Structure 1
């Protein structure tokens, strides 16, 4: 909630407590929160949700209430869950750097157990905004890179039998392999 307040303040928008709802981090929590918002009979054009489950539940309620996502209400989730990638519309979200967070947590615990160090204080981790359909973003596969959003490849494989990206792409058509510019490495993405 603090980041939300700070962003509003930075842009000269006053924070209104009645615009912020707290709910369980679940599909049902998002559904019920939107029911409450709609019952207040106040207009809104976007929802920023604490996780993807809340956002998906919120989109469900919006759509069943006759509202369109993103045309009427834009929806943003948080945590880049698989459900958000496959939701309809696909969910714009923020992907966290989970490996870095986990490593820092383990290091903090081990430092505390050893009694060797003190708290490192605030640690800031990189996050990535993944722009998808729920905010009016990309209209195709959730893995198609855009200027604002690049989903990291799942694996890499060597393309053989040619030296051009065109050859690699043609040789692997339908396999889910997409080649880089030099035609040597291909990244595997799910076929949708």
Structure 2
């Protein structure tokens, strides 16, 4: 039998948000008004992220609805595309190389919890997406993963370990049962 979690004992030990509470609140407001809405031009979204500490190269296309948890923990290379409704849950750094496509509703999540911890403490790690990779629609990349150069993570795939350069990861096919 596993350890019973006592969530009231959670302390968040070892997690550094990287900025003070006022800066975090300012980011949440700016994100809601100037990054996520459909009517804000991509160049404005990029400028706002940069003003909050993101390192973003030239030619980046950041579409509407993109959620970035902490911009000061985000790096994006040149000529990359971040699709609509992508969620970059970067409790730890996320680095995205050049010529990378992260398609609609993909989820990159650097955070988790230690299931063995009675207080369910964090078990976070960075994510690295190397040059030329493609993370397709609704794919999920979890903490501690490196997606190698020119690799493809197919639509709806779940990635829990490193993807070699040039590799293709697809979601498993659903098992369909047909009644006799």
- When normalised by structure 1's length, the TM-score is 0.29
- When normalised by structure 2's length, the TM-score is 0.30
Structure with the higher strand share, 1 or 2: 2
Tell me which of the two structures has the higher relative contact order, counting C-alpha pairs closer than 8 angstroms and 6 or more residues apart.
2
